[in-house]
Amino acid sequence: MERILFGDNQFFGVNHMSEDKARAQAMQFRDTPSIMRVLDCAYDHGIKVFMCTTHDRVGEIADTVRRNSRRYPDFQFYPCMPYAHKYADSVSEVGIIDTIRRFAPGGIMETLIKGAISAATQNVYKLMEILVDAEMKRFAGVRTPIIFLQNVVTDLLLGLKVYDVFAAFSEHIQRKYDAEAGFITMNLPMLVNALEQVGIENPIVCANINKIGFRMCGGIDAYRKRLRSQRCRAIAMSVFASGAIPPEEAIEWVCNLEGVESIVFGASSPRNVRHTKELIERAWGHGPAPAAAV
């Protein structure tokens, strides 16, 4: 797993602290070329992984990478699914049947038949596979070594204690896409315990990890304890707490936290891409991450 990953919130108007900033960024990145300019900067500075939702615009980015394989020989996507807003917006726009037609991984009748069988047998695993395959259509022909379950689903399953679906997701990802499953959550300590109960050892888990405990369910101390146990491969997201922590302070803290293997961050300009990467490399150095927490 790469150590420095590039995220996509800024491209699609997501900011958990400021609606005004979110709207401004949505306007800034209203077309694919504007996104590619920032992604090109990240790629040219050695950030080879784009950790992204399955937003429709990401399909256009995947098309660009596919068409320009010489330009992007090492480009990797870490898809995060499902993108719930996409389905809700589509149903509002064109209705349920056309939404199924739009996102179906194969023929519409085949998908409907599989869905009917799934409903009749209450086979939630088959339904999960159908939805995953629908999301993965846009990534055909590009590298996707890790595929993530979004926190909106992860934490729902966690709360309902339907842990077997995690195992089914992991098995499907490995079998069909020759990839590892990853899980995004707002409660890393609880999720790691749940995954271990269904046989997923040393899972890849992405969670908010930041100095002020922003959106870290269970609190910083619980996260420290779980990370120190070396029972998961942790990716830290929201390290700046949506701008609440100064960059230097945020990066220094998270890079000195024992057990963090990777950091995913977003940036809306080439300058910020370069600056953040330099901060991470300075804090971590070019070797292994520091072993001791601060």
- The count of residues in the chain is 294
Neighbours of 223 (CB within 10 A): 25
Query: For residue 234, which amino acid is it?
Result: A
Percent of the chain with pLDDT over 70: 80
Mean pLDDT across the chain: 87
Residue 277 in tokens = 């990467």
Query: For residue 227, which amino acid is it?
Result: L
Evaluate the omega torsion of the peptide bond into residue 82 and state whether it is cis, within 30 degrees of 0. Answer: yes
Round to whole Å and give the CA distance between 5 and 171. Answer: 24
DSSP string, 203-249: -EEEEE--TT-TT-TT-HHHHHHHHHTT-SEEEEE-TTTTTTS-HHH
Give the pLDDT band of residue 30 (cuts 50, 70, 90): confident
Average pLDDT of the segment spanning 199-211: 98
Instruction: Point out the least confidently predicted range of 103-107, 165-169, 208-212, 287-291.
Output: 287-291
Whose structure tokens read 């809306």? 268
pLDDT on residue 255: 97
Round to whole Å and give the CA distance between 130 and 107. Answer: 12
Query: For residue 259, which amino acid is it?
Result: G
pLDDT at 113 over 80: no
Termini Cα distance of the chain: 24
Query: For residue 207, which amino acid is it?
Result: A
Give the pLDDT band of residue 28 (cuts 50, 70, 90): confident
pLDDT on residue 104: 60
pLDDT tens-place string over residues 72-107: 999 999 999 987 666 556 656 776 556 556 666 555
Give the pLDDT band of residue 289 (cuts 50, 70, 90): very low
Average pLDDT of the segment spanning 138-154: 96
Q: Residue 134 belongs to what H/E stretch? A: helix 124-136
CA 17 to chain centre: 19
Answer with the residue of higher pLDDT: 96 or 123.
123
Average pLDDT of the segment spanning 97-123: 55
pLDDT on residue 111: 55
Average pLDDT of the segment spanning 123-148: 90
pLDDT on residue 110: 56
Nearest in space to 6 (alpha carbons), one of 75, 85, 70: 75
Nearest in space to 186 (alpha carbons), one of 164, 205, 212: 205
DSSP-based three-state secondary structure for 199: coil
pLDDT on residue 109: 47
pTM for this predicted structure = 0.85
Answer with the residue of higher pLDDT: 112 or 145.
145
Give the pLDDT band of residue 56 (cuts 50, 70, 90): confident
pLDDT at 66 over 70: yes
Average pLDDT of the segment spanning 195-209: 98
Residue 250 in tokens = 């945020």
pLDDT tens-place string over residues 237-278: 999 998 899 999 999 999 999 999 999 999 999 999 999 999
pLDDT on residue 292: 39
Average pLDDT of the segment spanning 170-186: 98
